[in-house]
Amino acid sequence: MIYHSTRDKQETAGSREAVLQGLCRDGGLFVSDELSDCRLDVEELLPLSYKETAKRIFGLLLGDYSSQELSEGVEEAYGSTFSAPEVTPLTRIGENWLLELYHGPTSAFKDVALCMLPQLMSKALSGTGKRVMIVTATSGDTGKAALNGFRDVKDVAITVFYPEGKVSDIQRLQMITQEGENVAVCGIRGNFDDAQSAVKTVFSSGAGAELEKEGIFLSSANSINVGRLIPQVVYYFEAYKALRNQGVIRKGECIDFCVPTGNFGDVLAGYYGKLMGLPIRHLIVASNENNVLTDFIRSGIYDRNRPFHKTISPSMDILISSNLERMLYYMSGGDVELIRSLMQDLKEKGRFQIGGELLERIQEVFPAGCADDEKTRAGIRRAYEVEGRLIDPHTAVGYQVMQEKGEKGVPCVLLSTASPYKFCRDVYEALFGPLSGEADGFAYMDALREKTGVEPPEPLKALRGKTELHKDVIDPGEIGGYVMKKAMEKLGSET
């Protein structure tokens, strides 16, 4: 399978190289025109385990890895790292379904991909003599999942940038207590978009070229990396299989998914599943108050020139949704000239516009809706009080949008993207009001457990008493220098 840039079909790479590189040199994202030839018969997958399904999907999409490499990677990634035997269990929420994606080591769905990406990366590196510095901007969850996944991986180091003051107490603690010789964590004075843009600039700046002279290459663990996207396709198949195996739907019957969205990575993975033959009708795009995608899908106008809102679903506080570029590529039938000009407009004016048939095609597959914080809190309450389910604020955004956009008679699977305990303060306050005095994240964790009887995940409980190791905070403009310094420190002299 050959990958190429969304902006230029001549800019190509095999899957190993695409994983190592992360972003294309021209700033585009790796896509493949062969995706819709990679069809899978779901019926054949019904008896397979999560791991077996993953191997089948990876075998199709990551063609230049050997089946032994993929098999080893899958065993390592999903053998014992998830606390649920099904990896991503499907459970009920009212008339619909909740796909629980948060049973991994860092309690967010990012783990599903970030347990596998390091496997793919180190196998692609082996024997090349290259070393890689992973540079990642995080809105809160990718950072910890990537740190956990890449910790102590040979010939790889990782630097994570998070927006200081704009992640939850627990998310921050998870990152700044990260152990490991090859990790660096740093706060940014700004928001996620500032961090993400600065990171993208490092890739095209002189810093990258300087490091290459030392044999050190830059790569990304953000969902712009195909190695991040592809593992997420698996759980869409798993959800469908579970509904078939439980007799909820018949052969070939279509279902909907509702996906809380920021960078459009997770929902795009669902679209990949659809292109591969999974009977999906709608992929409902759910946004918080930063509803740039809702407006785009309704009007065809993507406009990031708007106030940035800090919400209780911080991992979705994003105004530049990177993977939209991939969706537009596929929806426009691979029109690289169009993508190039739209992305030029976005860069220069912060805005682009589409219309006509392209917009209609997008609207047919991706209904969109949004929920502000008040509506999100109402969603947390409704899920708990009416359905007896404790859900996190991101999932609650999706839950509210699902009520509006779902249809009776078509089963809808809501992707539950994080454990409520990562956001225990906001979840607790939505349900029971604020605790008195100066309560920290742990006080809320205890209180939430006491009131609901739901156990917090072990790794979150274990944060108590961990040492804060990473205290750097810098301006976005300093990111390039910081990456250079850390790369030399962690990978500079070969050992």
Ligand X SMILES: *Cc1c(COP(=O)(O)O)cnc(C)c1O
Instruction: Report the distance separating Cα 405 and Cα 491, nearest Å.
Output: 49
Among 55, 103, 110, 425, binds ligand X (CB under 6 A): 110
> Minimum distance from CB of 284 to ligand X (Å)?
13
CA-to-CA dists, residue 176 to 103, 181, 225, 457, angstroms: 21, 14, 24, 18
Q: Which residues of 424-463 are buried (b: 16+ CB within 10 A; e: fewer)?
A: bbbbbbbbeeeeeeeeebbebbbbbbeebeeebbebbeeb
Q: Are strands 301-303 and 351-353 parallel, antiparallel or unpaired?
A: antiparallel
Nearest distance from C-beta of residue 337 to ligand X, angstroms: 27
β-pair type (255-260, 412-416): parallel
Q: Report the candidate in 226, 218, 227 with the shortest Cα–Cα distance to residue 200.
A: 218
Of the two residues 6 and 223, which places its CB atom closer to ligand X in the complex?
223
Dist. CA 23–CA 28, nearest whole Å: 7
Q: Which of 18, 195, 234, 316 binds ligand X (CB under 6 A)?
A: 316
**CB 130 to ligand X: min, Å:** 28
239-298 positions binding ligand X, by CB under 6 A: 260-266
51-80 binders of ligand X (CB under 6 A)? none
Residue 418 lies near ligand X (rule: CB under 6 A):
yes
CA distance 186 to 81: 26
Pick 226 or 491: Cβ nearer ligand X = 226
Residue from 108, 113, 184, 368 in contact with ligand X (CB under 6 A): 108
365: nearest Cα among 290, 256, 236, 249:
256
Residues 441-480 that bind ligand X (CB under 6 A): none
Q: Which is nearer to ligand X, 219 or 315 (CB)?
A: 315
The residues, ordered by sequence, that sit 6+ positions from 310 with a Cβ below 8 Å of its Cβ are 166, 191, 317
Catalytic residue set: 110
Q: Which is nearer to ligand X, 190 or 260 (CB)?
A: 260
Q: Check binding of 159 to ligand X (CB under 6 A).
A: no
Give the shortest CB-150-to-ligand X separation in angstroms: 17
Check if the beta carbon of residue 415 is closer than 8 Å to that of residue 426.
no
* Rounded least distance, CB 340 to ligand X, Å: 23
Q: Does 223 bind ligand X (CB under 6 A)?
A: yes
Return the residue of 123, 274, 394, 486 that touches ligand X, per CB under 6 A. Answer: 394
Q: How many residues bind ligand X (CB under 6 A)?
A: 16
x/- track of binding to ligand X for residues 117-156 (CB under 6 A): ------------------------x---------------
Closest to ligand X by CB, 4 or 110:
110
Instruction: Report the nearest approach of ligand X to the CB of residue 401 (Å).
Output: 13
- Choice between 155 and 317, CB closer to ligand X: 317
**Shortest approach of ligand X to residue 437 CB, angstroms?**
28
Residue number with CB closer to ligand X (267 or 276)? 267
The answer to the question of residue 417 lying near ligand X (CB under 6 A) is yes
**Nearest-approach distance from CB 339 to ligand X, in angstroms:** 19
Q: Which is nearer to ligand X, 266 or 373 (CB)?
A: 266
317 is a contact residue toward ligand X (CB under 6 A): no
Rounded Cα distance, 52 and 366, in Å: 29
- Which residues form the interface with ligand X (CB under 6 A)? 108, 110, 141, 223, 260-266, 315-316, 394, 417-418
